[in-house]
Amino acid sequence: MPPPPRPQAGPGAADRGDERPRAPVAEAERLAREHSNKREQKARQERAQPDSRGSPPTRPERPSVAPGTPVARPLTPAPSSRPRVAPDRSATAVERPDDRPRPTTSPPAVRDVPLPRAQPSFEPPPSAGAALIDDVAVEAEELLREGAGVWGRFTVADRITVVAALLTLFGTLLPWLWRKNADVVLGIGSGGIVHAFVAGAALTLLVRRESVTVDDRGVRLTRDRQRQRQRRTALWLLLLSLVSTVSGTWLLLVWGAVRRFEVPDLEIGAGLYLTLAAGLGLSYSGFATFWRR
């Protein structure tokens, strides 16, 4: 059998089908309007509530001012009509370490703990003799370093003066006279003290000339002043060398006469001849230095 025919919808069926889904939408809009009205009424009631004194807040009256007069505005803003509520800090307070209750009991007493004893050192303490030797070694090293620097600045004549002065000092320590059955007489005890003084003075003059570069007031010497100082030093060296040569020659003549006429067994040592030769070297170096300056 064929299926029964479906009933055809009338002209108002489409309108009724559209009204069914519109019913929930209308209900939601009505509820939203009611909720909005309630919130607005509640806000009005809160504004109309009296302040803490029991009277509704009043706005400050403006003073009567003539038209055209400028009005100074207050620096502080007008108070709000809504009452201010202090925040509850009890819920947000943070406990600080200083606010915690401190213990009332005293701290335990600290017992005196003995310090550990220092272990004895196995190295022997430096003695006074070792310290003195170290000081002498340091001073000798400094002296040698300064001497090397001064020697490098010396000229040939100055170096001859230094060598001649050292030979003069060495010659005064050698024997100058002796006899076969008598004691030996050293040069330092038989007139050689004059030659030793001359040699020491010559060395002092050279070192002082090279080391002193300022005057008594602390001002650096000019080139002319240095040249004058060098000429004066050369003149003193020349005079000292002449004294050494003359005194040595006189002693040689005197002892030669004594040996010939009074003491035939008297012998003149090599120290005297070495001192005389060194005196001649001092004379040559002093003359060369003075002539060059």
HEC string of 94-111 equals: CCCCCCCCCCCCCCCCCC
The average confidence (pLDDT) of the chain is 72
Whether 277 shows a pLDDT value over 80: the answer reads: yes
- Radius of gyration (Cα) for the chain, nearest Å? 62
| 118 has a pLDDT exceeding 70 | no
Please give the pLDDT value at position 140.
85
pLDDT greater than 80 at residue 94: no
Which residue's structure tokens are 């809504």? 82
Specify the CATH number of the domain 152-213+228-292: 1.20.140.150
73-92 pLDDT, tens digit per residue, is: 555 555 555 555 555 555 45
Selection from 50-54, 56-60, 103-107 with the highest mean pLDDT:
103-107
Token pair 């070694």: residue: 137
181 falls in which pLDDT band (50, 70, 90)? confident
Q: Say whether pLDDT at 229 is over 70.
A: yes
Average pLDDT over residues 252-272: 82
pLDDT of residue 124 exceeding 70 = no
- Angle among Cα 188, 199, 253 to the nearest 5 degrees reads 55
H or E element: which one contains 178? strand 175-178
Question: What is the value of pTM for the model shown?
Answer: 0.47
Q: What is the dihedral of CA 213, 216, 222, 228, to 10 degrees?
A: -90
pLDDT at 132 over 50: yes
Domain ranges of the chain: 152-213+228-292
Q: Is 50 exceeded by the pLDDT of residue 40?
A: yes
Question: pLDDT for 18-35, tens place per residue?
Answer: 545 567 778 888 888 888
Residue with tokens 């003073």: 63
SS3 string, the chain, reads CCCCCCCCCCCCHHHHHHHHHHHHHHHHHHHHHHHHHHHHHHHHHHHCCCCCCCCCCCCCCCCCCCCCCCCCCCCCCCCCCCCCCCCCCCCCCCCCCCCCCCCCCCCCCCCCCCCCCCCCCCCCCCCHHHHHHHHHHHHHHHHHHHHHHHHHHCCHHHHHHHHHHHHHHHHHCCEEEECCCCCCEEHHHCCHHHHHHHHHHHHHHHHHHHHCCECCCCCECCHHHHHHHHHHHHHHHHHHHHHHHHHHHHHHHHHHHHHHHCCCCCEECHHHHHHHHHHHHHHHHHHHHHHHC
pLDDT band at 7 (very low <50, low <70, confident <90, very high): very low
- CA 212 vs. chain centroid, Å, equals 31
Q: Per-residue pLDDT for 9 more than 50?
A: no
